[in-house]
Chain A
């Protein structure tokens, strides 16, 4: 499904602040895989997502998604097949527009609409139904401005927006990290449901090692612009959080950044 071949990215090349953020990274994902990604701050996790979604051009290497070389595809065109969520709930929605309008815009990824009227009855039902599955009551507030919603509601809406037209790849960048624990759990539940429903190929960055091992089918660990650990199947099933931490300190030369690696409470 997704094949990343020796990608390199150096920021601020030829300056004193030069930073080799991705160092010949290779990764292959099969269709329907749900990969969780862990690693300390600055390991290059978000940079990897930026490379995949086209926020910048990579220096070398190639990215193929579903047999299509997307290495040089412009960001907005990639967005048609790559859904993405950020930590900041404000990022994925237009606050001044209603829930309905936001969804209509996201839904248009399926087909260019041009001068057709944007809000259509037929789609309204579809949106209502999808929203009602969250159990947040959003289906009755379709004409509410998104700016008035809570962070958790916005993040759930963003999740729906990025998946209402099933993407070939879904990128989740600590998308529950800014939410309170209860809401985070709720959004995580919704995430699992949506991903499972269409078996969307998904990559999720998280600082919660417990959640990283529990969620999905495979876990990779990044350090200094590369993948240092890649576990799945039996090996992953028997892995515990302390073992993962241990492996991590062995694999990485850098200091262990425990500040943001949350040891799970449960």
Chain B
């Protein structure tokens, strides 16, 4: 039971991350490494403001900080002509120092004895179990931002962003500034990622400078698991599938850890393998198909 509710809570919180990764990886069509920095950025801002007694403000500023990180990467890519992957790496590296600065140059902050949003809710609803409250709060965040994003990608601006990932030339031909659409998309994606980190910090009651390491792969794994289940369809379904993917990912990890299939430190390795397997599958399939055809032809000859 704790396993189920625990992975439900985490799955929803990391679902926000999956939404962000979906926007860059699936809609904009480029893997954005900024997330490794902006996840910790959200975490750091949220934790340090919670310690000052402003947990909600911590989340809001965390979202804004994440958006700024996205804008920066966007500017590097568009106005400075830096390769998209490298642009993300630059922001991510720079953010490491910024994050340490926000955390008062300590690599670890604990929120024990400080009121997080979760703590505030426990006090407001003393009759409910903490696990329920955690799950409901996480669900609420996911739901609100899912609805907001689904609406946004139905607007004209959202359409422009989707088209940018599909065919930049066509967007330019429709007299739309592609640089702007890219920057906005990166800002929104990283805002979501930072929010995910921010909620996580208050949920687990601590912030660690290394939280963002490998987080892109976690997000990608969620998106890809979602794709496998739902197929690749409209953006709204895509958002649902990213969140569901995140939930399933957490269940898999929780079960694997519980049954000690692998030790906890192998987590990121396993995540990388999942993503690798899913991404390489189409290419491997076609190679196998080609080999079959060749063998057949050989036999005939």
The interface residues of chain B lying within 8 Å CB-to-CB of A104 are 156, 159
Measured between alpha carbons, how far is A109 from B170 in the docked complex, in Å?
12
- A30 contacts the other chain (Cβ, under 8 Å)? no
- B105 contacts the other chain (Cβ, under 8 Å)? no
Residue-wise interface mask of B (120-156) relative to A, using a CB-CB cutoff of 8 A (1 in contact, 0 not): 0000000000000000000000000000000010111
- A114 contacts the other chain (Cβ, under 8 Å)? yes
How many interface residues does B have (CB within 8 Å)? 23
Given contacts A79-B175, A109-B175, contact A96 B166 (CB under 8 A): yes
Residue-wise interface mask of A (63-82) relative to B, using a CB-CB cutoff of 8 A (1 in contact, 0 not): 00000000000111111100
A52 to B: closest C-beta gap in Å: 13
Tell me what chain B mostly uses at the interface: helix, strand, loop, or mixed.
helix
The chain A residues found within 8 Å of chain B, CB to CB, are 74-80, 83-84, 90-97, 101-102, 104-106, 108-109, 113-119, 161-162
Q: Quick check: A105 and B167 within 8 Å, CB to CB?
A: no
The interface residues of chain B lying within 8 Å CB-to-CB of A94 are 162-163, 166-167, 170-171
6 other A-B residue contacts (CB within 8 Å) besides A76-B172, A84-B173, A118-B156: A76-B178, A83-B173, A102-B170, A105-B170, A115-B152, A115-B155
Given contacts A96-B166, A105-B163, contact A79 B173 (CB under 8 A): yes
- B157 contacts the other chain (Cβ, under 8 Å)? yes
Measured between alpha carbons, how far is A83 from B154 in the docked complex, in Å?
25
Measured between alpha carbons, how far is A77 from B174 in the docked complex, in Å?
9
Given contacts A91-B169, A95-B167, A96-B166, contact A108 B174 (CB under 8 A): yes
- B160 contacts the other chain (Cβ, under 8 Å)? yes
In-complex Cβ contact of A116 among B156, B166, B176 (8 A):
B156
Q: Quick check: B176 and A76 within 8 Å, CB to CB?
A: yes
Measured between alpha carbons, how far is A148 from B143 in the docked complex, in Å?
33
Measured between alpha carbons, how far is A83 from B174 in the docked complex, in Å?
9
